[in-house]
Amino acid sequence: MIILGDWGTTRLRLFLMDGPALVARADGPGIGGLTSTPADSLRAAMQPLLEKSPVSEVILCGMAGSRHGLREVAYADCPSDCTNWAKSALTFTLDGLSVTIAAGLACDDLQETPDVMRGEETQIFGALDCHPELRAGDHMLVLPGTHSKWVHVRNGVIQAFRTWMTGELFALLRDHSTLAHVGAGEITDVKYQAGFSHGLARTSTGDLGGALFEARSAQLRRAKTPGWGVGYISGLLIGKEIADAQTRLGATAEVSLIGDPVLTALYQQGLGQAGISSRQMEGDQLAIAGLRVLCTSMKN
């Protein structure tokens, strides 16, 4: 059996695989929240899986390959197909186990502004493997999250991408700003939903820095709840990302959304309001698919 892992900034997810079958899962801390060395953290997280079965190798993607990760892996340059990406992976031995870390991707040519990703590329190559129709022609893939990525794929090659800070800005504003109160804003709250819709609608009339303060002034002057305010911030940020991406990358009629289903559902609502059709794909499943593709590519 092998262990596949997606090791991001906020968490480590490990999957024990018997061929295509997922046998067990285990979790650990993200690269941004380590309390021991990366190697010790990985050992501790793998332990329950190693007790279930002998393992021949470990394949990881994400921040595991950053300079604060297990081993730094150089970025592969865009445009990149799956074969080029797989060549840039780094393999070494840890405690007698073969460990491979996937490369991230860098994109330096668009408007002379550099951009980078670590982890999303694995989900994308997973999506291309699972959905053959994405391997022909032009497609826009959107991966919402801490750093939301808009990715242009042509004939199975990742051409270029752009990062929006949406998820990180949202978390900062929800948890650390004067706009909301800690604990406010359950996404299932009907007032959150009302605020989200109001934020999406505000996108067309307000710039971000100017429109954000309404989350607070509406609480003071319109008797809105903190939950409404958090929903408003979410709607405003997602709406702006979609509008700005259309301006910056060109209008698109259809996108594929890859990520956490709760988050991709919010993006689907925002995209729909902007007249863009979308379909949702589950991020964890595509990470597993991408890591399996990497494993296969390295053996060919």
> Using an 8 Å Cβ cutoff, are 124 and 258 in contact?
yes
Any contact of residue 35 with a second copy (CB under 8 A)? no
Q: Tell me which residue of 284, 9, 285, 286 sits closest to 171, measured CA to CA.
A: 9
Any contact of residue 32 with a second copy (CB under 8 A)? yes
Copy the structure tokens of residue 41.
């953290």
Q: By CB under 8 A, name the one of 115, 120, 121, 189 that touches a second copy.
A: 115
Q: Tell me which residue of 39, 44, 67, 56 sits closest to 4, measured CA to CA.
A: 56
Q: By CB under 8 A, name the one of 54, 133, 221, 299 that touches a second copy.
A: 221
Q: How far apart are CA 125 and CA 103, in angstroms?
A: 12
Q: By CB under 8 A, name the one of 44, 130, 208, 298 that touches a second copy.
A: 208
Q: By CB under 8 A, name the one of 6, 120, 189, 241 that touches a second copy.
A: 241
What sign does the CA torsion over 13, 16, 18, 21 have? negative
- 289 phi/psi in degrees, rounded to 5: -60, -40
Shortest separation between residue 211's beta carbon and a second copy, angstroms: 8
Q: How far apart are CA 239 and CA 208, in angstroms?
A: 10
Q: By CB under 8 A, name the one of 52, 87, 176, 279 that touches a second copy.
A: 176
Shortest separation between residue 231's beta carbon and a second copy, angstroms: 16
- Chain contacts with a second copy (rule: CB under 8 A): 9, 32, 106, 108, 111, 113-116, 146-147, 162-166, 168-169, 172-173, 176-178, 205-214, 216-218, 220-222, 237, 240-241, 244-245, 247-248
